[in-house]
Amino acid sequence: MTVNPSRKHLVLLGAGRANLQVLKGLARQTTGDISITLVAPHPYYIESTMLPGYIAGDYTLEDVRIPLDSLVEASGATFVPAHVHALDPATRRVQLSSGDALPYDVLSIDVEPAIEREHAETLMPGSRRNALFVRPLENFVQLWPQLQALSHERALQVAVIGSGVAGAEMAMAVAHALASPHGTRVTLIAGHEPLLEDHPPGMRRRVLNRLKHLNITLLQDRCAGMDGRALQLESGASLVCDAPLLAEGNGAPAWLQQAGLLDDESGHLLINERLQSEHHRQVFVVPEDAPAEIGPVLEANLRTAMQGGSFKKVPLDASRLRAISGGDGHAIVAWGPLSLEGREVWNWKDRRDRRQLLSLFKI
């Protein structure tokens, strides 16, 4: 792979929202002394906040999956369709699945949360062969119609394995989408901790009521294995299951864990208030729970890292509005202790999500 040595090389790993906001900013204010490369497995961006709506039938695939080509072209970037095999911050090189070793001056990592197959197989033997993994999203949206088609042939027993918002939203969307015509039933296996215990009590109560309304069985248990016919739970129980959906990621992908950017004990990212790695200041990493509006600050800091100037702090712990899709044109929102739900809330969330997605790709 040829890189112009006379220009600083900015490499963006992953087509996450923040990296795409960086591309958008660079498209508006281009600079001749920077070359840009975007590395991602697929030439699409899938809006994860709208995925439950796609599952529930509120959106088409074209509504939630946007091609990257126009944004890449406008920014003057080079798109490399590849997976990352390894990252060596010491030599500033990224080893790609294409066989190329991509050098960089500054690196921005904004990748999709991973569900590592090997780790999942260790925790839940049989999952690699039998589970439908929700991530990567691109693979899941291709396989989802097959499960829909099967539900039109007969009633299914579906288990969604995942704690937190991701598991709850997926369970509610699937329950609505597959209820007709044969009455497919959904079970949410949400781990031992109370579901959404870190959310406002009012929101948690509304989500639990919504699960009950959709006839979703909530199990505070963990999946310990699967064989294609049933799930084995840590409690010792067995659950008949036609389709297990693994909706919970294991955090950072293996190559990021091996790059020395994480705390060895906690597994959390070692980054400062500017999103820089504590040990490798030319590497910037967007955490999974970063605010949606983080991109412009990231762009400014990437420019500073290449051209000089003052860095900006990123408000990672800012209080934010929480919104959860509830299936069937229903949503729940909370701001502090206050919460609301219903179709009007869904209409508001729909307008907000569509507006944010349009804004992301509008040059």
Handedness of CA 55, 66, 44, 281 (dihedral sign): negative
Q: Determine the Cα–Cα distance for residues 39 and 37; give it in Å rounded to an integer.
A: 6
User: pLDDT value at position 116?
Assistant: 82
Res 3: pLDDT: 58
With a cut of 60, say whether residue 12 has pLDDT above it.
yes
What is the reported pLDDT for 319? 56
How are strands ordered across the β-sheet holding 84-88?
84-88, 93-96, 101-103
- Beta-carbon neighbour count of residue 47 at 10 Å? 20
Domains recognised in the chain with CATH numbers = 8-41+82-114+251-307 (3.50.50.60), 117-248 (3.50.50.60)
**pLDDT tens-digit map of 292-325:** 889 999 999 999 999 999 999 987 655 578 999 9
Mean pLDDT across the chain: 92
**In this structure, are residues 72 and 27 in contact, taking their beta carbons and an 8 Å threshold?**
no
Measured CA to CA, the distance from residue 72 to residue 36 in angstroms comes to 9
Which residues 6+ apart lie within 8 Å of 93 measured at CB?
Answer: 87, 101, 102, 103, 104
**Percentage, residues of the chain above pLDDT 90:** 78
Tell the burial category of 294 from Cβ atoms under 10 Å away from its Cβ (0-12, 13-18, 19+).
Answer: buried
Taking only the tens place, the pLDDT of each residue in 103-159 is 999 999 999 887 888 889 999 999 999 999 999 999 999 999 999 999 999 999 999
Q: Note whether 248 and 72 are within 8 A (CB).
A: no
331: three-class secondary structure by DSSP: strand
DSSP conformational letter for 261: -
Residue 199 burial by CB count (10 A; 0-12/13-18/19+): exposed, middle or buried? buried
DSSP one-letter code for 67: E
- Structure tokens, 63: 């509504």
Q: Give the amino acid at 303.
A: R
Residue-wise pLDDT tens digits, 175-197 = 999 999 999 999 999 999 999 99
Q: Which of 178, 200, 83, 218 is nearest to 138 (CA)?
A: 83
Of 296, 360, 350, nearest in space to 323 by CA: 350
Residue 50 DSSP label: G
Instruction: Classify residue 179 by its DSSP letter.
Output: S
pTM beyond 0.75: yes
Q: Are 143 and 160 in contact (CB under 8 A)?
A: no
